[in-house]
């Protein structure tokens, strides 16, 4: 920020920039324990980064279950090919979480914090907790005393050292964020600031999920690593810059416009498929809040053969690999979540929008 690589007001204006995170220093320096990076392959065959997910990237449960199902249905395929295993993901995640424990804790207690069974990703929360061999808890199962977090159990109180939370920042601690939240734990942020518990991923990581800040990642890479990015971003226009905003308004009918804080495919407007009324309403929203929008060209995503009913048809896909950071090395899952837009012609692959997924193979190494 001081060197002017990233505009200071870009960070300060981000919805997920939380001053409550001030003073929280992860013991091993890791703020992002799991990252899910969405990749696409464009019409020229080039791989590009579509967006970053570093708060609570979901979908790895589909990776594990898709592989389990495929191996059961098509065992001969796996016998004939050297397909690298994905079953080690929970082990690597647990190692990263244990490595993040507060100083002086040799045998940390790790829990997975879920919003509950009503959450759309609850299956993933329960699967990861079960495969890591740790407790799956809700906010009501935890409490803070003297800046230490405890778990209520049938045997009494158990101190908690690391929380793999799957709850948004705003609901994490009613004393710091939304006072009406019934999902979080009162006092949790102060416990983290005191160094008595580690929250994974860290409070405030949503700044890196902001789609406007995503456009500056190549500059961040050059600044910190003195290297060129190996993969380019999708070409993006930043509406908060007046010249680029004017270009977006003039080209609304040919661009894909996204809210910078959006997720799950919600709020995206495909200009070539929008009505005049929809484009006019979108233009008004952009002009009222330029910081809240980016625009990208309509990229023709690559397609994969997909069984639809009794036929095999092409459907658009993207790929979300998962990277796990334990503080000493970064391990990338040898597979990933290939998301499929099941509706013919659709470019929205999110499961929340009716998308599906495919087992994804990386060949070589162990069977």
> Is 352 a residue whose pLDDT tops 80?
no
pLDDT recorded at residue 50: 92
Q: Is the pLDDT of residue 263 over 80?
A: no
Q: Region 229-252: what's the mean pLDDT?
A: 95
pLDDT digits (tens, 9 = 90+) for 128-169: 999 999 999 999 999 999 999 999 998 999 999 999 999 999
> Mean pLDDT over residues 114-136, rounded?
96
Task: Give the pLDDT band of residue 265 (cuts 50, 70, 90).
Answer: low
Report yes or no on whether pTM surpasses 0.85.
yes
pLDDT at 275 over 70: yes
Q: What is the mean pLDDT of residues 262-273?
A: 79
- Summarize pLDDT for 312-348 with one digit per residue, the tens: 999 999 999 999 999 999 999 999 999 999 999 888 8
End-to-end CA distance of the chain: 46
What pLDDT was estimated at residue 264?
60
Q: What is the DSSP letter of 83?
A: B
111 touches 94 (CB < 8 A): no
Enumerate domains of the chain plus CATH numbers. 8-228+301-357 (no CATH), 235-297 (3.30.1490.270)
- Position 345 scores a pLDDT of 86
Number of C-beta neighbours around residue 89 at 10 A = 23
Amino acid 266: pLDDT: 72
User: Taking the CA of residue 356 as centre, how many other CA atoms within 13 Å lie in the half-sphere pointing to its CB?
Assistant: 13
CB 343: neighbour CB atoms within 10 A?
A: 14
Q: How confident is the model at residue 367 (pLDDT cuts 50, 70, 90)?
A: very low
- For residue 5, the number of C-alpha atoms closer than 13 Å in the C-beta half-sphere is 12
pLDDT of 267 over the 90 cut: no
Confidence of residue 365 (pLDDT cuts 50, 70, 90): low
Q: Which two tokens stand for residue 308?
A: 């639809």
- Statement: residue 299 has pLDDT above 90: no
Residue with tokens 């190549």: 218
Which position has the higher pLDDT, 185 or 265? 185
Average pLDDT, the chain: 93
| Rounded Cα distance, 93 and 114, in Å | 16
Q: How confident is the model at residue 108 (pLDDT cuts 50, 70, 90)?
A: very high
* Contacts for 2 with CB less than 8 Å, ≥ 6 apart: none
Q: Tens of pLDDT along 52-106?
A: 999 989 999 999 999 999 999 999 998 899 999 999 999 999 999 999 999 999 9
């Amino acid at each position: 920020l001081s060197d002017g690589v990233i505009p200071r007001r870009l960070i300060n204006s981000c919805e997920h920039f939380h001053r409550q995170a001030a003073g929280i220093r992860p013991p091993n320096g890791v703020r992002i324990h799991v990252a899910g990076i969405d990749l696409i392959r464009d019409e020229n065959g080039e791989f590009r980064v579509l967006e970053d997910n570093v708060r609570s990237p979901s979908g790895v449960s589909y990776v594990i279950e898709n592989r389990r199902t495929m191996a059961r249905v098509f065992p001969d395929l796996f016998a004939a090919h050297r397909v690298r295993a994905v079953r080690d993901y929970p082990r690597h995640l647990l190692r990263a979480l244990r490595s993040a424990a507060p100083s002086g804790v040799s045998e940390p207690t790790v829990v997975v914090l879920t919003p509950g069974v009503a959450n759309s990703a609850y299956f993933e929360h329960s699967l990861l907790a079960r495969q890591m061999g740790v407790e799956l808890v809700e906010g009501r199962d935890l409490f803070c005393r003297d800046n230490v977090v405890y778990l209520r159990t049938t045997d009494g109180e158990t101190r908690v050292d690391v929380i793999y939370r799957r709850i948004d920042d705003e609901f994490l601690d009613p004393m710091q964020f939304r006072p009406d939240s019934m999902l979080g734990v009162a006092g949790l942020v102060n416990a983290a600031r005191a160094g008595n518990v580690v929250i994974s991923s860290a409070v405030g990581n949503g700044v890196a999920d902001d789609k406007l800040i995503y456009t500056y990642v190549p500059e961040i890479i050059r600044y910190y690593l003195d290297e060129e990015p190996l993969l380019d971003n999708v070409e993006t226009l930043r509406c908060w810059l007046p010249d680029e905003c004017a270009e977006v308004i003039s080209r609304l009918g040919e661009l894909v416009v996204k809210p910078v804080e959006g997720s799950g495919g919600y709020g995206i407007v495909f200009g070539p498929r929008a009505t005049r009324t929809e484009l006019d309403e979108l233009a008004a929203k952009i002009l009222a809040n330029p910081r809240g929008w980016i625009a990208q060209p309509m990229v023709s995503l690559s397609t994969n053969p997909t069984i639809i009913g009794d036929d095999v048809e092409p459907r658009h896909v993207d790929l979300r690999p998962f990277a796990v950071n334990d503080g000493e090395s970064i391990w990338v899952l040898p597979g990933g979540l290939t998301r499929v837009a099941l509706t013919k012609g659709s470019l929205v692959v999110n499961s929340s929008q009716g998308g599906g997924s495919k087992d994804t193979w990386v060949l070589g190494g162990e069977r």
